[in-house]
Every structure is written in C-alpha cells, then in structure tokens.
C-alpha cells in the first residue's frame, strides 16, 4: 500500500512554486530530471514527501522518481548545509589520505560523513573522482575546488568560512 504523503510536512509556498514550474513543462515525464533539478534548487533537497508529490504531479510511479533521485549523485534526499564540503574519495585522493581529511572534517564539525552540522552551515559528503586528480587530495566546497589538502589545513578552511559568515 502506498504511503499517504503528508503535504503538511512540506513548505507549501515552495511546493506551490514547484507546481507552477511543473505546469509549464510540456513533456513532464521526458523532462523529469529538469523538474527534479528545479525542485531541489527551490527546496534545497528532495525529501520523500516531495518526491511523492512530484510523482503524482507528473503521473509517474514514486519508485521511478526515487530511483532517479538515488541514482544521480547531484540529487540529495537530505537537507544540506549552506556549505557542502565534498571530500573526494576517488583512488588518487584516497591513496593520499583523503580518509584522514574526511575524518578531520567530521571530527571538527561534529557530524558524520553524510551529516549536517547543528547550525545548518555545513554538510559533509564523500564523493567519487571529481576530475582533478592532479591536485589530489581534493575537496570541493560548493563549487570551489581546493587541492593538495592536508589534515592540518582543515581547521583553517572551516575557520575561514565561519569568519566570512560572521562578516569578520
């Protein structure tokens, strides 16, 4: 039996904007990736309830929507921080101590490898090769790539962002 989606758990204003976008898309099933991209940009992430809403709006099975969301790494089902720290765990980075860097971020931000910091400022994820192996080990903070990262640099990277946020 299908789970009844709980609209009241969703931000109604954002859902309305997503519905307006869906209404304008002619080929809703064919352009489902485009719709999910818009939904994620507007909502910040794609919670299960929103996936169910979209599934009904475009007349596709919820399992199909969830399959797409979980297949593509650029979609996320969890809320993300203002800054997403992506630590590359591809081979070139892994052999240059990427795990140590991931662990240090997790320790200092007090979050798990796929978690969100308590203040909502940071999320931490591990990703596959991001195509900058010459700079290994590499991290990406939102769109900014930082190469040759060491464990000792992690605190400074976090502090810079926090300072910037405080306007220091």
Comparison of 7 and 95: residue with beta carbon closer to ligand FES: 95
Q: Is the Cβ–Cβ distance between 130 and 116 less than 8 Å?
A: no
Region binding ligand FES by CB under 6 A among candidate stretches 15-23, 30-38, 133-141, 156-164: 133-141
DSSP character string of the chain: -PPPP-GGGS-HHHHHHHHHHHHH-SSTTTTHHHHHHHHHHHHSS--HHHHHHHHHHHT--HHHHHHHHHHSTT--SS---SEEEEEE-SHHHHTTTHHHHHHHHHHHHT--TT-B-TTSSEEEEEES--S-GGG-S-EEETTEEE-S--GGGHHHHHHHHHHHHHT-
136 binds ligand FES (CB under 6 A): yes
Shortest approach of ligand FES to residue 115 CB, angstroms?
Answer: 21
138 binds ligand FES (CB under 6 A): yes
Binding mask 113-132 for ligand FES (x = CB under 6 A): ----------------xxxx
62 binds ligand FES (CB under 6 A): no
Shortest approach of ligand FES to residue 137 CB, angstroms?
Answer: 7
Comparison of 54 and 93: residue with beta carbon closer to ligand FES: 93
Shortest approach of ligand FES to residue 144 CB, angstroms?
Answer: 14
Binding mask 74-113 for ligand FES (x = CB under 6 A): --------------x-xxxx--------------------
Shortest approach of ligand FES to residue 116 CB, angstroms?
Answer: 23
C-alpha span between 104 and 88 (Å, rounded): 14
C-alpha span between 130 and 149 (Å, rounded): 14
What does the binding site for ligand FES look like in residue numbers (CB under 6 A)? 88, 90-93, 129-133, 136, 138
């Amino acid at each position: 039996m299908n789970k009844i989606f709980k609209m009241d758990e969703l931000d109604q204003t954002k859902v309305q904007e997503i519905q307006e976008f869906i209404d304008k898309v002619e080929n809703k099933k064919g352009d489902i990736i485009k719709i999910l991209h818009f939904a994620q940009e507007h909502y910040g992430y794609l919670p299960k309830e929103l996936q169910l809403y979209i599934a009904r709006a475009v007349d596709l099975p919820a399992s199909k929507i969830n399959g797409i969301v979980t297949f593509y790494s650029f979609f996320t089902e969890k809320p993300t921080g203002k800054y997403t720290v992506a630590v590359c765990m591809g081979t070139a980075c892994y052999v240059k101590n990427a795990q140590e860097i991931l662990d240090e971020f997790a320790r200092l931000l007090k979050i798990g490898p796929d978690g969100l910091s308590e203040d909502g400022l940071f999320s931490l994820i591990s990703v596959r090769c991001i195509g900058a192996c010459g700079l290994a080990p590499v991290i990406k903070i939102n769109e900014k790539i930082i190469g040759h990262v060491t464990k000792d640099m992690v605190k400074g990277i976090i502090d810079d962002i926090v300072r910037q946020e405080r306007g220091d």
